[in-house]
């Protein structure tokens, strides 16, 4: 892992597993009565959001605060951006204020990369979603959730080697609007890195040009894919109408009939198949209420796990923990893992 996290492809297998393992430690810390850790005390994290978001922004804010960092939330609405201020001017303003880390979400693909490779600000950059490009922390929390589905949560206090596992042997379906989905792109990278097989299912009009070169199998027919594979998880994607400027399918009813997770398709899945969704869900459209509310749905687990994963990312990037062999460092030390006002270790 480099100084920034801009893409899921930035992570090799060792770095990805390391982040998932640190996230397990963060998750264990979050289960305590006092949830704060002092590792980022005195640091300032800026959430620089040029796009609307609920889950991602709140998740990063909670993650930074639980690491004892100071948090500044920037929203383009009501800021000088609405007066024409550029990304460069905004970044230089944040640098002048002493930002130690910046979490950026932007409608333009490549915005996070531009910020990270400019001389506008000297701080680690975390990509929280850039256009239709990538959303690496979402892929990390999806892999974290899937790893728990497959292997369970580690036993409290167990040595890291006992639960540092990847996703080898898992088969994951990603269904829906692949064309506009940064979540799909990041998951294809990361799930493949961790050893899982990815199957993309979508109408031809909602698949990007060149998808045949991706490390994934492609289906246009949801039912055919269900017949050919036994899925460990089915990840449904929201159709992003706000990014569409033309018709990509006849109508919503036709989409649901052919590519939605209907009650019939849900019941046809193996009993162990996890139902995933990055949110927000459109019930009755891409996913039926029966599936969304079933015991097999891990959608709320994804939200919970997102905080622990983003704590791990901020910890690794902002503390500058050294890495070996592509990994981004070692486990929290006892001193770092001691909550403010408490004694104990992870």
Domains and CATH numbers, the chain: 8-135+301-319 (3.40.50.1370), 137-299 (3.40.50.1370)
Which has the minimum average pLDDT: 32-36, 98-102, 175-179, 329-333? 329-333
User: Mean pLDDT across the stretch 281-293?
Assistant: 93
Closest CA to 17 of 146, 166, 169, 145: 166
- Is there a binding annotation on residue 342? no
Q: How confident is the model at residue 129 (pLDDT cuts 50, 70, 90)?
A: very high
Close Cβ partners of 37 (under 8 Å, ≥ 6 residues apart): 26, 29, 66, 67, 68, 311, 332, 336, 337, 338, 339, 340
pLDDT of residue 324: 29
Which pLDDT does position 160 carry in this prediction?
59
Residue 48 CA to residue 121 CA, distance in Å, equals 13
Task: List the single range of 30-39, 62-71, 80-89, 121-130 with lowest mean pLDDT.
Answer: 80-89
At residue 330, the pLDDT reads: 42
> Is 88 marked as a binding-site residue?
no
pLDDT tens-digit map of 7-27: 999 999 999 999 999 999 999
Judge whether residue 62 has pLDDT over 90: yes
135 is in an annotated binding site: yes
Please give the pLDDT value at position 57: 92
Q: Is 279 annotated as a binding residue?
A: yes
> For the chain, how many helices (H) and strands (E)?
11, 9
Q: Is 77 helix (H, G, I), strand (E, B) or coil?
A: coil
180 is in an annotated binding site: no
CA distances from residue 336 to 40, 55, 162, 274 in whole angstroms, order as listed: 9, 27, 22, 34
Q: What Å distances lie between residue 56 and 37, 48, 60, 136, 278, CA to CA?
A: 21, 11, 6, 12, 10
Q: Look at residue 239 in the predicted model and tell me its pLDDT.
A: 87
| Cβ neighbour number for residue 42 with a 10 Å cutoff | 9
Relative to beta strand 125-130, strand 101-106 is: parallel
pLDDT (tens digit per residue) in 251-273: 888 889 999 999 999 999 999 99
Which helix (H) or strand (E) covers residue 194, if one does?
Answer: none
Burial class (CB in 10 A: 0-12, 13-18, 19+), 31: exposed
Top-confidence residue, 34 or 214: 214
Q: Is residue 280 annotated as involved in ligand binding?
A: yes
The three-class DSSP label of residue 20 is: helix
Percent of the chain with pLDDT over 90: 66
Q: Is 257 helix (H, G, I), strand (E, B) or coil?
A: helix
194 close to 168: Cβ distance less than 8 angstroms: yes
Between CA 110 and CA 6 the distance in angstroms is 9
Strand partners, 49: 75, 105
Confidence band of 325 (pLDDT split at 50, 70, 90): very low
Bridge partners (DSSP) of residue 233 are: 172, 274
Cα distance between the two ends of the chain: 23
pLDDT at 61 over 90: yes
- What is the structure's pLDDT at 59? 96
How far apart CA 281 and CA 133 sit, in angstroms, is 21
Least confident segment among 1-10, 223-232, 254-263, 290-299:
1-10
pTM of the entire structure? 0.89
pLDDT at 327 over 80: no
* Mean pLDDT computed over every residue of the chain: 87
Determine the Cα–Cα distance for residues 274 and 257; give it in Å rounded to an integer: 21
| For residues 32-54, average pLDDT | 90
Q: Which pair of structure tokens corresponds to residue 182?
A: 């940064």
């Amino acid at each position: 892992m480099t100084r920034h996290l801009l893409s899921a492809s930035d992570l090799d297998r060792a770095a990805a597993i390391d982040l998932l393992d640190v996230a397990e430690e963060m998750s264990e810390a979050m289960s305590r009565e006092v949830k704060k850790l002092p590792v980022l005390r005195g640091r300032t994290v800026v959430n620089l959001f040029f796009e609307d978001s609920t889950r991602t922004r709140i998740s990063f804010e909670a993650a930074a605060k639980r690491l004892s960092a100071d948090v500044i939330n920037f929203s383009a609405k009501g800021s000088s951006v609405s007066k024409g201020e550029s990304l460069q001017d905004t970044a230089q303003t944040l640098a002048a204020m002493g930002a130690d880390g910046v979490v950026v979400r932007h409608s333009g693909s490549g915005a996070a990369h531009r910020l990270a490779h400019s001389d506008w600000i000297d701080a680690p950059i975390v990509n929280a979603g850039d256009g239709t490009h990538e959303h690496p922390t979402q892929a990390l929390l999806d892999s974290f959730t899937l790893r728990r589905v497959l292997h369970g949560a580690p036993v409290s206090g167990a040595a890291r080697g006992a639960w540092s596992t990847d996703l080898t042997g898992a088969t994951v379906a990603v269904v829906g609007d692949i064309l506009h989905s940064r979540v799909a792109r990041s998951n294809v990278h990361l799930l493949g890195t961790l050893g899982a097989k990815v199957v993309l299912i979508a109408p031809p009009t909602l698949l990007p040009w060149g998808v045949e070169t991706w490390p994934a199998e492609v289906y246009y027919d949801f039912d055919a894919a269900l017949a050919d594979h036994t899925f460990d998880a089915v990840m449904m994607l929201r159709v992003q109408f706000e990014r569409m400027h033309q018709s990509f399918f006849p109508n919503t009813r036709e989409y649901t009939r052919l590519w939605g997770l209907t009650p019939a398709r849900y019941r046809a899945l193996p009993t162990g198949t996890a139902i995933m969704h990055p949110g927000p869900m459109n019930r009755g459209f891409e996913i039926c209420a029966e599936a969304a509310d079933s015991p097999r749905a891990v959608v709320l687990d994804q939200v919970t796990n997102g905080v622990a994963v983003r704590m791990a990312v901020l910890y690794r990037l902002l503390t500058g923990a050294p890495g070996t062999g592509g990994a981004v460092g070692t486990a929290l030390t006892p001193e770092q893992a001691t909550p403010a006002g408490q004694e104990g270790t992870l």
